[in-house]
Every structure is written in C-alpha cells, then in structure tokens.
Copies of this chain bind each other. A is one copy, B any other.
Amino acid sequence: MTTRDEILRLGEELMRTQGFNAFSYYHLADALKLRPAAVHYHFPTKDALALSIISRSRETFHAFAEHAALEPDLQKRLHQFVRIFSENAATDKICLMGAAGADFYTFSDETRTEVQLLVREIIVWLAALLREGKACGVFTFDGTPRTRAMLIATNMAASLHMARILGKQEFPRIADQLVKDLCIPQKSTAKRKEK
C-alpha cells in the first residue's frame, strides 16, 4: 500500500468517525509516521484530500456494483447493500453520505459536486435494483423506485447515527424491518421447513 493510499484510508476513517473538521494534517502524519509536509506533498490542500476521499469512495462503490451484478438473486443483492452499512455500524462509523452531508458546506464546489455524484450513483443503483425486483415479483413497494431508493438510503445512512447514539443493537432492528417491508417471501427451491 502506497503512502498516498494510506493517507486516503486513514483520512476517510477519521472523516467518518470524528468528522472532516475534527482532524488535521498533523494527526494524519503522526499516525502514519510522516511529517505533515509529506501529507501536503500528496494532497496540497485539505479540500483536495476531501475530494480524493470521496472520489476513492465512488470507485469502491463502482467495484461493489460490479461485484453485486454477478448475484442473480435480487433479494441477496439488497442484502449485500445492507451489509455495507451493517459493517460500518459494527465499527461505529457513519457512511460517507452522512459524513459528507454534515460537512457539506465546508467543502469547495468541486468537492460538493463529487459528493453529489457519489450519492446520485448510489440512488441510481438502488432504484434500478428496486425496479427490476418489482418487475420480477421479489420486491413490493409503493411510489417510484427512485423515491423508494431515497427512503432506503436515508434509513441506512441515519441508522448509523442511531447505532452510535442509542447503541449498535438498533442497526439490525432497522435493517431487518426495512428488508421485511420490501421483500415478498419467496418459495424456497430447497426442501421446505416443517410447519
């Protein structure tokens, strides 16, 4: 792993645990056993760092989407999406939507646009999943797939806040109900459970 990547990784972690304005170049440098100037070498300004963190997160999501496309079962695909958030809840992190949304007005226009792209891509992906799932009878919901995608995304994002504030046990409660609301029980192709 290159120094640049380590800075991005740690920067994202700090952004999603303490907030973008709660850590400094010194914190990054110290944790990575570098001088602050080395961090400036890779990211001249803090906003450039924010931009790269968001952009890297977009790439991570693209990779997730590519991997998820291999899963033919749409309910399982939804579960893969939920699992991303569930992992964050376990480590007390909020998602980048939540973190960047809170710090939004401290970013440059360029960085805000990158945040917008990230969120749009997530919503578009989720809406497509919901549309397809509804068409083939695995999901049920009212309203447009896009609005439903917004409802689910907002549930997931703020559930991470709730998990921090009220306790980790809140996340699975919210996530399980969300999935129940959406999924039409499927006839198992495996042996049926005894009644």
Known contacts A18-B106, A105-B92, A142-B181; decide if A150 and B170 are in contact (CB<8 Å): yes
A interface SS class: helix
A186 within 8 A of B: no
Residues of A at under 8 Å CB distance from B? Answer: 17-22, 92, 94, 97-106, 112, 115-116, 119-120, 123, 142-143, 147-148, 150-151, 153-162, 164-166, 170, 173-174, 177-178, 180-181
Query: Residue of B at shortest CB range from A123?
Result: B166
User: Which interface residue of A19, A106, A142, A154 has the most chain B CB atoms within 10 A?
Assistant: A154
Q: Are A105 and B158 in contact (CB under 8 A)?
A: no
A-B contact pairs, 7 of them (CB 8 A): A18-B103, A21-B21, A99-B102, A101-B160, A102-B161, A143-B180, A151-B174
Q: Which of B97, B151, B155 is in CB contact (< 8 Å) with A165?
A: B97
- Give the distance in Å from the alpha carbon of A29 to the alpha carbon of B139 in the complex: 54
Q: Are B142 and A177 in contact (CB under 8 A)?
A: yes
Residues on B with beta carbons closer than 8 Å to the beta carbon of A101: 94, 98, 158, 160-162, 164-165
Q: Which of B98, B112, B150, B155 is in CB contact (< 8 Å) with A102?
A: B98
Query: Residue of B at shortest CB range from A100?
Result: B165
Residues on B with beta carbons closer than 8 Å to the beta carbon of A166: 116, 119-120, 123
